[in-house]
């Protein structure tokens, strides 16, 4: 993608929450490579948190090293005052916001917690995991979207992306996670309904098994066959943002690997991951 030097998002502005690592960083890298000016937010500005390496400074260095444009805006999305300050700065600094990628998500911090296994039944799940999924997950998606929607409405254009997963529709080993993702998909449907006549699209994206920093430490739990790079999801977002018929996809969930087949892009290693389905995920 973009081997020909094209930049389909040149002149556009993107905001990626939770861009210190994982899919957030992958999305920021792909959007910058496509020519967008990217604002990146997250808690880890210059120091990694204990169980997940990666910082906003690392993301900035990678983007600028590739010739892209990146602005770092440190923010803990679980703290309302920090969210208000961060988005206030972004809205003042930029004349437009074309793309919001909601990737800041809590609840994975204890994924290798031996006292509270990820796949334990709900009556053995810690309440902190439920709280993190909603307070630092679903709620962060809502608040970030709430901040950018008025600007997109003024522009009469925009794309809001929320990362979700098949757990929204099928039991996949963890009740708090599944309920939180179902809430995410419902939020996408309802926001899309309210924004459609403003020509602003809202979509859920279902990545496959992504080789994030945390997942790399949990290979004993997850089989990494047919896994995807974090940038693969970013390439899907670039493709959606470049689609003149984007509004037709608003309010729906889309599987990243299926979008790759539809739009004709590959992963960064040239592979074409097989789309997960509700039967095989």
Q: What is the pLDDT of residues 97-109, one digit of tens each?
A: 999 999 998 877 6
Do 233 and 205 form a contact (C-beta atoms < 8 A)? Answer: yes
The structural domains of the chain, ordered by start, are 13-263 (3.40.50.720)
Output the pLDDT for position 102. Answer: 98
Residue 90's H or E segment, with its range, is helix 80-93
Residue with tokens 């690592």: 21
| Residue ranges of E strands in the chain | 13-16, 37-42, 69-74, 99-102, 158-163, 200-206, 253-255
Kindly compute the dihedral angle of the four CA atoms of residues 64, 68, 69, 74, in this order, to the nearest 10 degrees: -50
49: closest CA among 217, 220, 222, 167?
Answer: 217
Compute CA 184 distance to the chain's CA centroid, rounded to the nearest angstrom: 12
Task: Please state the length of the chain.
Answer: 281
Output the pLDDT for position 114. Answer: 74
61: closest CA among 48, 76, 46, 50?
Answer: 46
Residues of the chain with pLDDT under 50: 1, 216-221, 280-281
The pTM of the full predicted model, rounded to 2 decimals, is: 0.91
Query: Catalytic residue at 206?
Result: no
Give the tokens for residue 126. 């810690």
Do 100 and 41 form a contact (C-beta atoms < 8 A)? Answer: no
Output the pLDDT for position 1. Answer: 45
- Active-site residue among 39, 141, 165, 177? 177
Output the pLDDT for position 39. Answer: 98
Residue 146's H or E segment, with its range, is helix 139-155
């Amino acid at each position: 993608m973009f081997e020909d030097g094209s930049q389909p998002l040149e002149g556009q502005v993107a905001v990626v929450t939770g861009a210190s690592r994982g899919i957030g960083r992958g999305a920021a890298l792909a959007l910058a490579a496509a020519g967008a000016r990217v604002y990146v937010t997250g808690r880890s500005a210059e120091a990694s948190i204990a169980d997940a390496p990666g910082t906003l400074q690392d993301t900035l260095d990678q983007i600028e090293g590739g010739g892209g444009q990146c602005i770092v805006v440190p923010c803990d999305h679980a703290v309302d005052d920090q969210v208000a300050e961060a988005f206030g700065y972004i809205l003042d600094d930029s004349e437009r916001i074309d793309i919001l990628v909601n990737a800041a998500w809590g609840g994975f911090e204890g994924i290798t917690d031996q006292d509270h296994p990820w796949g334990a039944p709900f009556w053995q799940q810690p309440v902190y995991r439920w709280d993190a999924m909603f307070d630092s997950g679903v709620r962060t998606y809502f608040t970030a979207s709430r901040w950018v929607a008025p600007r997109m409405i003024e522009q009469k254009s925009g794309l809001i992306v929320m990362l979700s997963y098949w757990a929204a529709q099928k039991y996949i080993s963890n009740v708090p996670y599944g309920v939180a993702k179902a809430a995410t998909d419902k939020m996408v449907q309802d926001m899309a309904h309210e924004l459609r006549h403003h020509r602003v699209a809202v979509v859920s994206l279902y990545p496959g098994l992504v080789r994030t920093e945390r997942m790399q430490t949990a290979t004993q739990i997850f089989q990494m066959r047919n896994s995807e790079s974090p940038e693969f999801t970013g390439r899907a977002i670039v493709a959606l943002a470049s689609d003149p018929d984007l509004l037709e996809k608003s309010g729906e969930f889309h599987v990243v690997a299926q979008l790759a087949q539809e739009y004709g892009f590959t992963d960064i290693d040239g592979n074409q991951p097989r789309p997960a389905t509700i039967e095989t995920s």
